[in-house]
Chain A
Amino acid sequence: MLLLQFIGELLARGCGLPIPGNVIGMGLLLVALAQGWIQVDWIRDAADLLLSHLALLFIPAGVGVMVYFDLLRREWFAITVALVVSSFAVMAVTGWVETWLDRREHRRAD
């Protein structure tokens, strides 16, 4: 089961340049499931195992931030304000636009 995902990952690394292999791999898995080349039952356990521990997998990347403390410290004020304000702005805009268009479509359908 896991092997199938690794193959998808390897395949994706070979062909895509601007998009990372794993994002292409996600698309490939979606296509394979939709086409019935892969059955949900084959991969469900492995995929759910990985996804339930997804949070753990980001920790090493976060620890890597320590190497760049100096870079962050030099302009920490501008970086912090821009990062925090922008994060909330993105969530608000994305969520509102989605909700607004979704409602509009529903209204048209009624």
Chain B
Amino acid sequence: MLIELLATPLFGVGLTLVIFVLAQKLYVRSGSIFLNPVAVSILAIIGVLYVLHIPYPAYAAGGNLILFLLGPSVVALGLPLFQRRQEILAKKVPILAGVFAGALTSIATASGLAWLLGGSREVVWSMAPKSVTTPIAIGLAEKVGGLPPLTAAIVVLTGCLGAICGPEFCRAIGLRDPAAIGLAVGTSAHGIGTARMLEVDRLGGAVAGLAIGLNGLITAFLLPVIFLLFR
């Protein structure tokens, strides 16, 4: 019976929901930003699958159902953007310039450091789109000779890091404006960072959602040019 249940998408959905609810309780009770519910849930689910010897595809049958909802959710980010359009339009030049600078910094520091530390060609180019939302990053990695699965993993890890301590880091370096913090977290940590920003501040979340799209666009144009210069 248990084996049969494992074969249905219910397993992946159920496991994810149960662990996420527990992780969120832990997060609220502990009050520690390092127990970010997304990161804790990912580790816990990997642990469960590993200990019980459940192959990843059995989980993915349900996991992909949840993943499917991510599409309309990104579309839904248009709503907070619309609601805060006046504040955002008033800052259109700083926002565009900020994301552009961030996109350049991301490619230069991620690939540059990986190269300096002796990373292989594939790893260096797989690092380049690390701050871009997964679907765009995978396409870009393919284009510049990176390894798309490695890029996908790096993108998720980058998102978790930004979600865990992004808003705290931004305040620590003297940023006060919620729009600036949202822009910084969204540019670096894409969707996972945006999810965290939406909890912290509605305007910051809206700007973070905008930053996902802008950074994706800017990097999609920049990276192929940089590739031609350095390959």
Do A26 and B150 have beta carbons less than 8 Å apart? no
Question: Is chain B's interface secondary structure helix, strand, loop, or mixed overall?
Answer: helix
A contact residues around B66 at 8 Å (CB): 56-57, 59-60
Do B157 and A82 have beta carbons less than 8 Å apart? no
Do A60 and B12 have beta carbons less than 8 Å apart? yes
Question: Is chain A's interface secondary structure helix, strand, loop, or mixed overall?
Answer: helix
Q: Which residue of A lies closest to B36 (CB)?
A: A55
Do A86 and B185 have beta carbons less than 8 Å apart? no
B interface footprint on A91-102 (CB within 8 Å = 1, 0 otherwise): 111111111111
B interface footprint on A26-65 (CB within 8 Å = 1, 0 otherwise): 1111100110000010011011101111111111111111
Q: Which residue of B lies closest to A80 (CB)?
A: B157
Taking a contact as CB atoms closer than 8 A, the residue among A20, A26, A75 that contacts B119 in the complex is A75
Do B120 and A75 have beta carbons less than 8 Å apart? yes
Chain B CB within 8 A of A83 CB: yes
Q: How many residues of A contact B (CB 8 A)?
A: 74
Taking a contact as CB atoms closer than 8 A, the residue among A57, A79, A95 that contacts B67 in the complex is A57
Chain A CB within 8 A of B203 CB: no
From residue B49, how far is it (CB to closest CB) to chain A in Å?
7
Q: Which residue of B lies closest to A67 (CB)?
A: B56
Whole-angstrom distance between the alpha carbons of A97 and B150 in the complex?
30
Add 17 more A-B contacts to A63-B49, A63-B59, A82-B110 (CB < 8 A).
Answer: A22-B70, A26-B74, A27-B213, A29-B76, A34-B82, A50-B73, A66-B50, A66-B56, A78-B113, A78-B117, A83-B130, A83-B154, A83-B157, A90-B187, A98-B91, A98-B179, A105-B91
